[in-house]
Amino acid sequence: MSAVLVGAAVVLLALCVAGVLLVPGPMNRLHFLGPAPLAVLLACAAVLVDKGASTIGIRAVLIALFTLATSPVLSHTVARALHHRGEDDA
Amino acid sequence: MSAWLAGAAVLVALLVPLGLAAAMRTPGDGLVALQLAGTITTVAVLLMAVGLGREPLGDLALVLAVSSFIGSLAYATTLGRAS
């Protein structure tokens, strides 16, 4: 089960990378960062399934919570910076 | 090689094209690549911690998640003000 979750997380992140590399325009590329926190969630779920509520499991939960909370903030800040730089027209 | 280490190896390999994109494209594109690279690195270190059986690496992943967020935030703010 944990191997499936790890594989799903890696595939999702690979798709994010493909989107960032292939889609034209930084603002369009920014949209492909949206699924990245979901991949972090999948990886942390894999750790929890395999290790349970151990030290590394608690670290995984903290990483997932932090990423889920901060990723939208960071995306908004990056989008605003791109807008100020005039790179949001592609 | 376990699924953990195989996943971590794939994620580390994914950092190479992102680094190239950050180096060769515009600063805005580099900022987007930096944000994704921070997330990928955090997951890769977490997978390495489990795969290698070294739990202190989990602390490193947590610190990396926080420092990556702060660094990207500072870079984005600076880039927005510099324009």
Residue range A34-67, pLDDT digits in tens: 999 999 999 999 999 988 888 899 999 999 999 9
Q: In chain B, what is the greatest distance between 2 CA atoms, to the nearest angstrom?
A: 47
Predicted local confidence at residue B44, as pLDDT: 95
pLDDT, one tens digit per residue, over B6-48 is 999 999 999 999 999 999 988 888 889 999 999 999 999 999 9
Structure tokens at A89: 């027209």
Q: Where are the domains of chain A?
A: 2-84
Total domains, chain B: 1
Is the Cβ–Cβ distance between A9 and A35 less than 8 Å?
no
Predicted local confidence at residue B48, as pLDDT: 93
Q: How far apart are CA A79 and CA B80, in angstroms?
A: 9
Quick one: closest CA in B to A80, which residue? B80
Predicted local confidence at residue A90, as pLDDT: 54
Q: Of A6, A63, A84, which is closest to B7 when you measure between CB atoms?
A: A6
pLDDT, one tens digit per residue, over A1-39 is 888 999 999 999 999 999 999 998 888 888 999 999 999
pLDDT at B83 over 70: no
- Give percent above pLDDT 70 in chain B: 99
- Please name the residue that has the structure tokens 């990207």: B72
Q: Which domain holds residue B68?
A: 3-82
A37: chain B residues, CB-CB within 8 Å: 39
CA distance readout (Å), B73 to A11, A37, B22, B23, B41: 26, 16, 16, 19, 17
Which of A12, A17, A49, A84 to substitute to test the interface with B, most B CBs within 10 Å? A17
* Pairwise CB contact (< 8 Å): B35 & A60: no
- Give percent above pLDDT 70 in chain A: 98
